[in-house]
Amino acid sequence: MVPGAIPVLSKAGAELLVETGAGLRAGFPDAEYVEKGARMAGREEIFGAADVLVQVRSPGANPETGGADLALMRRGQTVIGFGEPLTAVDAARALAERGVTFLAMELMPRITRAQSMDALSSMATVAGYKAVLMAADALPRMFPMLMTAAGTVAPARVLVIGAGVAGLQAIATARRLGALVSGYDIRSAVKEQIESLGARFVVLEIEGAAAEDKGGYAKAMGEEFYRRQRELMAGVLAEQHVVITTAAVPGKKAPILITREMAAHMAPGSLIMDIAAERGGNCELTRAGEVVEAGGVRIFGPVNLASTVPYHASQMYAKNAATFLKYLLKDGQLQLDHADEIVRETLVTEGGEVVHAKVRELMGLPALQAV
């Protein structure tokens, strides 16, 4: 939460407890929270007193302190945050056993009335922007075309693979820096969006009509599709100075779009910025949190990019979380309407059980009977 989000929740009937020092590293001092009506408290006091806990990374998405947090949670408490329930199923099980009601921000449905609660898109916006800045800083070339007394400097060529929220933000940012930008996505429907940002849409002769699920997220395709895609993409990659990959499928390992051989055909000094590193990466050579060099090409595997722009990432996440919490509050009390798509899609655990249909399926549990 940022200080500006406090009055919204106070008006909805909530009393806000904020962990002492929680906003300092993002640029929000304790005094600003107090000024807006929040009460500062220690972490253990908050876990003991709060009816609802709002976190960024909850157990499942927090390898550092998630286990310690889980031990502080109590039966009947509601937790809202990122928890990676489609991959960290053991954490979902542990939350259920603890009797915690958990709502996962990354499962927010991509429907019109939930847009202001879509934290995944907010964080992707930050990641797409920052990935381009990191690439521009690391590239031994300048991005824009420059006419100088020493001659003309040709613009850098940038390819963005994946035109979701992160990809479109990366395209827009690279264009602002003056690069010659191309964009590719298996969903041909995004051609207009890519071109509206001033980039060229890369066309590969490959069918991608079924590449999006009903929730608006990318869908995993068959291995034959990805094999053919890699063959056709190899020639495009050889012309690029920077490749930014953003392809991720919720709950699955990121598809390999760039093989070791494809990377080897890129020009020395060029680089790959793999935003999907935390999901295994889109490049075969990617290592999460590391920079790998192969034949003069560097492959970056950045993780948690949103945390590198903490002020605005916090501002956006606070808006998403506060809007979601306000939506769930009725007369100052949390009320979960199970017939509501927003509640149904984000609710992972309740009443000592894992209740989310997709998570239950991943755990090998039978479907719950409708009440």
Residues labelled as active-site residues: 110, 115, 118, 121, 217
- Which strand (E) or helix (H) includes residue 347? strand 347-350
Backbone φ/ψ region at 77: left (φ over 0), alpha (ψ -120 to 50), beta:
beta
The string of DSSP letters for 48-88 reads HH-SEEEEEE-TTT-TTTHHHHHHH--TT-EEEEE--TTT-
**Alpha-carbon distance 95 to 74, whole Å?**
10
DSSP state of 185: -
**Alpha-carbon distance 174 to 227, whole Å?**
28
CA distances from 287 to 60, 166, 170, 264, 370 (A): 21, 20, 21, 16, 43
**Alpha-carbon distance 170 to 164, whole Å?**
10
DSSP state of 206: S
The string of DSSP letters for 144-175 reads S-EEETTEEEPPPEEEEE--SHHHHHHHHHHH
**Alpha-carbon distance 259 to 281, whole Å?**
11
